[in-house]
Structure 1
Amino acid sequence: MVSTEAQEVQNHIYQHELARGDRSCPYFAEDQALLISGWNMSRYPWHIVKYRSDGISPIKREVLYGTAFAQKAIWEHQHPADCSKVRYMAYYHAPSGIGSQLHLLGQALALAMHLGRILIIPSKDSQRHYEDPTFCPGEDGWHCWFQHITWCKPTGDVLKIHGTPEHGGFKFKDVPEVFHPLLKCSPVKPRVWFYWWRAQSIAYLIRFNQKTRSALDQLRSETLFQCKEHVNAVNAKVLDPGTVSAHVRHGFKFWEAKIFDFKDYVEQMDALCAGNQTLRVQYKEVAESNTSFSFPREAYAKRAVFLSTEDPLVVVEALKLCAAKDPWKVIYTKADRNNKDSWMSAGKGGAARREVMLAMMNLELALEADAWVCTLTSNWCRLIDELRMTIALKASHPYLSLSKGGKICEKNLPPKPECYLDW
């Protein structure tokens, strides 16, 4: 049984980076019940959910405050008992990568809830490229890969929203009003309430359908390697406890933010492995405290890392660690990589299937780790962060972001440190 002893949670979006939230509010008790029961596997079919008893994490499970209530509220909004009088909102994407489009869809869900409308995925969207009719005939858009976001069939009143999901006075960082009482009870810093919502919307949206779940299992059994050796499917159910995840974002990301050499990631990996207790939860320019991550010193002593990247040279460099003086077990998926953001040229069909399947498999593997080295300027690193706090129940595990420079919060204004989460 999971202990529900009240201890502070170490998280970069929490006040003073170490907090718990109001335990007298009902949301806290609902979260504690979720920690004991786990997720409904049919609704949230992740490996980390199915095989959660196969490996014991070195750090106590924690979930982002209010997650149990939020997932229930979203589900009930999108699945009303009577669809006959429902109003709808269809969202049409702007061109961007998978992570960015999913975050935009998540904010569209916020807008729909604010307006009292059911979010739907339109049958046609010129900027939606991640679908393969040969894999999922008859399905539209994200429904090709994920479970349907509603069971209602749209008729009558359908509001169409294009690009940035804003309407009236509801802006891009706003959170549905139904969650305001919860957030006032929570330890989440008010300026990043929107990021709490990003995590909840992503946890709801990325729920694999059965066909995708089966395809991911097959792909995992074929492509998972450790130091150039194929990992047997029997042993590929879930990564070993104490594994570190490193997502090295290169490609054309340099247009938007600073990118880092692989050695910068290795430095943080080595610090985790050594049990370093001075690793800050948040970098000092924006932190509300000097809180550092506390974890068992031997938690990452196995020196195992799951590597994901689009850069083939990073894989080559990482594999050298397998034969280093203090070797690492380097786990990765074997795939054709390039450093040119292949999503930009992927059309519909087989290329789209490849992009989505590889992306989702790497995302799932990252969640099975027990610490992360990433850059929160990357939408993909945010997906990992959002899902490890919710689905993986690892809200208090070490998450080390190399991104320490501010980003632009508002047009025509200089970057600010607190804008490391810009949207």
Structure 2
Amino acid sequence: MAKQSPLKVAFGAIFFMSICFFLYNFEAIGTTSTTSRSKHIESLDTSTTSSSTSLPTSTKPKPTNVKSKKPAAASKTNKPSAPTIDPKNLDVEQIEADFPMGYKNPRTWFQPLPAPNERNLLQILTAEQRELLPSLASQAQLSQKQLSKINTFYGINREGGWQDHIESLDDDGLAPLTKWAQKYVYDHQHPASCEGKTFYILEEKTPWYGLGAAVRVIFRELELAISVGRILVLDPKNPPGGHLMSNDCGEYRGRNASLECVLEDITSCAAYATPENSVREIPPNTVPGGNKFVPPLPAVALTMYMKETGLALSGAFLRYWWHAQMYAYVFRPNPQTLARMVEMRMNKTLHTAVDTNVRDKDGKAKLHTVPFPLPPSTLSMHIRHGDKAIEGRLISTRDYIVTAERFILRNPITYRKRAFVTTEDPGAIEEIKKTTGINPVGTAYSNPNWYWSYSNIPRFDGSPFQNLRLSVNRTDAMIMHIMQLWMAVECDAFVGNRNSNWNKLIDSIRCTLMDKCRAPYLDAGYSADWLHFP
């Protein structure tokens, strides 16, 4: 073997010793880190006391010169660093919430801030500054323009009919092409002359449906009539929706009970329909263009509109948009209904507000009257329970509230914990009255606890018919429910579940008969339950 030079031997020895030293320190650092990490895991793992708090045998660190303390056994006296919560017991909203599993920020600044002391602050202000306060406070009220729109929505001080009201609304707050679409349907059903027209006579097909579903049936048939060029007429002998009204509701007009007792006449040409110029069925496969849901002209019009925005049009959006237009045309209260709705709306004994921020000496929430209109930043919350369980998943009252709170938490400057609640479930009303909030952590809400409003009407957690039977006069009860829908549209944000026809009505009316389509709509349910429903 060739003799190695002393210099190479020295370098080799130094290199070998460096490698050994590096490996030794790497192992020591890893062992210390693992031990520290094990201790940290032990302090956080409080979701169960049956799990082992030490590392598995195969991954235990090797002994070092530093003595490590053994993990302390779980005991009742040890305070956990986080609440004991099993994630399996939490629902989706809790897991996804901003404070999951009871997380608390340990920083000193994460403390609830005290409310300002108005009395003390007023003493600091100058007289000139105090003079500014009334005008600044008045900005919390609705503007005259907003108040005027809500008045005409109820028919108060309105000049003309529904078409005039729609024309007075701001285009930016309406669904696309609403003014044109409403005029298009109205002109089809109210031509300048009824002579020579053909008709589609619609009789009652679904006597078990409630109001929202009955309206949906009518506009589905109206879509077919428009597509084939016929005017829709309600059968005078067996009109749709008569089962929802009192039997005598049409007597003053010499007609049978129908939805036209409370809604505008669907056409001005009903007297011209005869057996010779009418049909009683329109097969969907006879509709031109193959789209039984949207007539050709509106379909092309919205397609071109979307092209101008640089976006493609989906079939789901086309149908939802057109259905909103149909809801708006069919669901227009007539002048007599509007007058009765105003009487009910202004009746202070018919509505109650519960302020859970203020308690009396017995600990009960303070009650208030409900103003007209509802204050700005009020949320509409329609909780659909009852017989909806037959055809879909019910959303708990709590989940509706969670949906609202998560939205307000992300928009604390604009929205408040104030809601107007509609529901057929008396249990939901009792639950909200006791609910100050769901999120246990103090946040940037403008008011700490909820301020609830609702109407004092008979309720039964069942079908629409069971609710109508609670009133002596079914027509008046129906008007009461329509009035509640109008109150919902007074609001500035909307919480609901589009799997419900009534929630679809709220969503549609706010975008067509009022210009609140840019206001947030928060669906507490599941899109898969309603997205492609015909």
Contact kept, 8 Å, 1:216 with 1:361, in 2: the verdict is yes
After TM superposition, the structure 1 = structure 2 runs for residues 206-221 of structure 1, keeping only pairs within 5 Å, are: 206-221=331-346
Look up the SS of the partner of 1:420 in the other structure: coil
2:244 aligns to what?
A: 130
Contact kept, 8 Å, 2:262 with 2:334, in 1: the verdict is yes
2:413 aligns to what?
A: 298
Among 479, 494, 504, the alignment partner of 1:357 is 479
Aligned-residue RMSD, C-alpha: 3.2
1:343 aligns to what?
A: 465
- Quote the offset at 1:322 in angstroms: 5.9
Provide closer, same or farther for how the CA distance between residues 41 and 268 of structure 1 changes in structure 2, counting only shifts above 3 A: farther
- Quote the offset at 1:166 in angstroms: 3.6
1:67 aligns to what?
A: 178
Contact kept, 8 Å, 1:249 with 1:259, in 2: the verdict is yes
Separation in structure 2 between the aligned mates of residue 357 and residue 177 of structure 1, nearest angstrom: 35
Larger displacement relative to structure 2 (124-133 or 136-145) = 124-133
Separation in structure 2 between the aligned mates of residue 371 and residue 205 of structure 1, nearest angstrom: 24
- Quote the offset at 1:323 in angstroms: 9.4
Provide closer, same or farther for how the CA distance between residues 158 and 382 of structure 1 changes in structure 2, counting only shifts above 3 A: same
Contact kept, 8 Å, 1:250 with 1:311, in 2: the verdict is yes
Among 349, 369, 379, the alignment partner of 2:491 is 369
- Quote the offset at 1:210 in angstroms: 1.5
AA of the residue aligned to 2:336: K
Does residue 197 of structure 1 match 2:322?
A: yes
1:155 aligns to what?
A: 273
Structure with greater proportional helix content? 2
2:33 aligns to what?
A: none
Provide closer, same or farther for how the CA distance between residues 74 and 52 of structure 1 changes in structure 2, counting only shifts above 3 A: closer
Separation in structure 1 between the aligned mates of residue 337 and residue 436 of structure 2, nearest angstrom: 32
- Quote the offset at 1:355 in angstroms: 3.9
Structure showing greater radius of gyration is: 2
C-alpha distance after superposition, 1:135-160 (max 9, x if no partner): 44224412100111211123331211
C-alpha distance after superposition, 1:193-246 (max 9, x if no partner): 2221111111111111111111111122231221274636xx32x211111011
- Quote the offset at 1:320 in angstroms: 1.6
AA of the residue aligned to 1:226: A
Among 315, 318, 321, the alignment partner of 2:429 is 315
C-alpha distance after superposition, 1:283-336 (max 9, x if no partner): xxxxxxxxxxxxxx41113x2101000000110111123699922221111011
Look up the SS of the partner of 2:509 in the other structure: helix
Contact kept, 8 Å, 2:495 with 2:524, in 1: the verdict is yes
Does residue 118 of structure 1 match 2:240?
A: no
- Quote the offset at 1:134 in angstroms: 3.6
- Quote the offset at 1:351 in angstroms: 4.5
1:395 aligns to what?
A: 517
Gaps of at least 5 residues in structure 1 are: 1-34, 54-59, 277-296, 408-418
Provide closer, same or farther for how the CA distance between residues 263 and 49 of structure 1 changes in structure 2, counting only shifts above 3 A: farther
Separation in structure 2 between the aligned mates of residue 161 and residue 142 of structure 1, nearest angstrom: 20
Look up the SS of the partner of 1:86 in the other structure: coil
Instruction: Report the TM-score when normalising by structure 2.
Output: 0.58
Provide closer, same or farther for how the CA distance between residues 348 and 201 of structure 1 changes in structure 2, counting only shifts above 3 A: farther
C-alpha distance after superposition, 1:46-90 (max 9, x if no partner): 9x989999xxxxxx9521111111011111111111111111111
AA of the residue aligned to 2:189: Q
Does residue 252 of structure 1 match 2:367?
A: no
Contact kept, 8 Å, 1:45 with 1:208, in 2: the verdict is no
Does residue 176 of structure 1 match 2:291?
A: no
Instruction: Report the TM-score when normalising by structure 1.
Output: 0.73
AA of the residue aligned to 1:75: Y
Larger displacement relative to structure 2 (177-186 or 111-120) = 177-186
- Quote the offset at 1:262 in angstroms: 1.1
Does residue 94 of structure 1 match 2:211?
A: no
- Quote the offset at 1:167 in angstroms: 5.9
Contact kept, 8 Å, 1:89 with 1:118, in 2: the verdict is yes
Identical residues among aligned pairs (%)? 26
Task: Give the structure, 1 or 2, with the largest relative contact order (CA under 8 Å, sep 6 or more).
Answer: 1
- Quote the offset at 1:132 in angstroms: 2.6
Provide closer, same or farther for how the CA distance between residues 74 and 49 of structure 1 changes in structure 2, counting only shifts above 3 A: closer
Look up the SS of the partner of 1:393 in the other structure: coil
Separation in structure 2 between the aligned mates of residue 345 and residue 270 of structure 1, nearest angstrom: 29
Separation in structure 2 between the aligned mates of residue 202 and residue 123 of structure 1, nearest angstrom: 22
C-alpha distance after superposition, 1:381-413 (max 9, x if no partner): 111111112122122221111222524xxxxxx
Gaps of at least 5 residues in structure 2 are: 1-148, 307-312, 355-365, 439-446
After TM superposition, the structure 1 = structure 2 runs for residues 227-246 of structure 1, keeping only pairs within 5 Å, are: 227=354, 229=367, 231=369, 235-236=371-372, 238-246=373-381
Contact kept, 8 Å, 2:212 with 2:505, in 1: the verdict is yes
Contact kept, 8 Å, 2:202 with 2:234, in 1: the verdict is yes
AA of the residue aligned to 2:319: F
Provide closer, same or farther for how the CA distance between residues 172 and 381 of structure 1 changes in structure 2, counting only shifts above 3 A: farther
After TM superposition, the structure 1 = structure 2 runs for residues 256-335 of structure 1, keeping only pairs within 5 Å, are: 256-276=391-411, 297-301=412-416, 303-321=417-435, 326-335=448-457
2:353 aligns to what?
A: 226
Provide closer, same or farther for how the CA distance between residues 405 and 159 of structure 1 changes in structure 2, counting only shifts above 3 A: same
Among 132, 136, 144, the alignment partner of 2:261 is 144
Separation in structure 2 between the aligned mates of residue 172 and residue 338 of structure 1, nearest angstrom: 39
C-alpha distance after superposition, 1:13-48 (max 9, x if no partner): xxxxxxxxxxxxxxxxxxxxxx9xx987642399x9
Contact kept, 8 Å, 2:166 with 2:512, in 1: the verdict is no
Provide closer, same or farther for how the CA distance between residues 342 and 333 of structure 1 changes in structure 2, counting only shifts above 3 A: same
2:59 aligns to what?
A: none
Separation in structure 1 between the aligned mates of residue 488 and residue 465 of structure 2, nearest angstrom: 20
Separation in structure 1 between the aligned mates of residue 490 and residue 249 of structure 2, nearest angstrom: 27
Separation in structure 2 between the aligned mates of residue 75 and residue 178 of structure 1, nearest angstrom: 15
AA of the residue aligned to 2:297: V
Look up the SS of the partner of 1:161 in the other structure: coil
Separation in structure 2 between the aligned mates of residue 215 and residue 268 of structure 1, nearest angstrom: 33
Contact kept, 8 Å, 2:495 with 2:522, in 1: the verdict is yes
